[in-house]
Amino acid sequence: MDALHSAGIRFAEALQSGPPWLEKFWISVTSLADPKSVFTFFFPLAYFLDRKVGVSVLWIGLVSEWLNVIFKWILFGERPFWWVLESGLASKEPLALRQFPLSCETGPGDPSGHCMITGAALWPLVTALAALASRASGSLVLKLSPFITYTLLLVAVGLSRVFILAHFPHQVVTGILAGAALGWGLQDRAPLAHTPRFFVATALALLLGTLSLHSLVTAAGINIDW
């Protein structure tokens, strides 16, 4: 893993060596794709366009947020900002790396929550826009434009996370793949006919399940808060 991590640091160096205007772009992208944006921006937008799509975005966002925590407890994953110091790489050779206000994220890093949660939650919105474009025009480019935009957005989000040293490249790839798979698998399974009470009960069940799993893993001698 050290070789993979070192390669990721070199990639981050290359990204940070770009023109100054790119710095503002990457920071804007990573802020826009914060998982909370799923609930504060993308869900209201999707719900305004179509109630079914909006509920799907909310449901998938909730489930993917929970699964991301569980995956991180299983896969762990170093954070670049901390790894360069803990591994001793920073003392062995000069590194042209810069720190940003968003760099010092703690907790396991694999998979990237920004990529996974955003990728999963946006899938039903993207497929709905693609269906709308298909009905409006016979142009293949227009039909595929939502998916092309979706892919470019996730790639940009992944690069922004590497740029600020929050994740290694392989962690953002894992997040993108997991997010797209979750979005595809869950978009037709949203509980559209349920009342708000169901969602509250589900959220509580996920919370209690998470706390229980945390206790069990800790009791087994595994420090998931490392």
Catalytic residue among 5, 114, 170, 194: 114
Catalytic residue among 5, 167, 170, 194: 167
Per DSSP, the residues of the chain read -HHHHHHHHHHHHHHHTS-HHHHHHHHHHHHHT-THHIIIIIHHHHHHH-HHHHHHHHHHHHHHHHHHHHHHHHH----HHHHHHHTSHHHHS-------TT----S--SS-HHHHHHHHHHHHHHHHHHHHHHHH---HHHHHHHHHHHHHHHHHHHHHHHHTTSS-HHHHHHHHHHHHHHHHHHTT---TT--HHHHHHHHHHHHHHHHHHHHHHHHTT--TT-
114 labelled catalytic: yes
Residue that has been written with the tokens 């349920």 in this structure = 194
Which of 117, 193, 191, 124 minimizes the C-alpha distance to 157?
117
In whole angstroms, give the CA distance from residue 41 to residue 45.
6
167 labelled catalytic: yes
For 169, phi then psi, to 5°, come to -55, -40
User: Which residues are part of the catalytic machinery?
Assistant: 114, 167
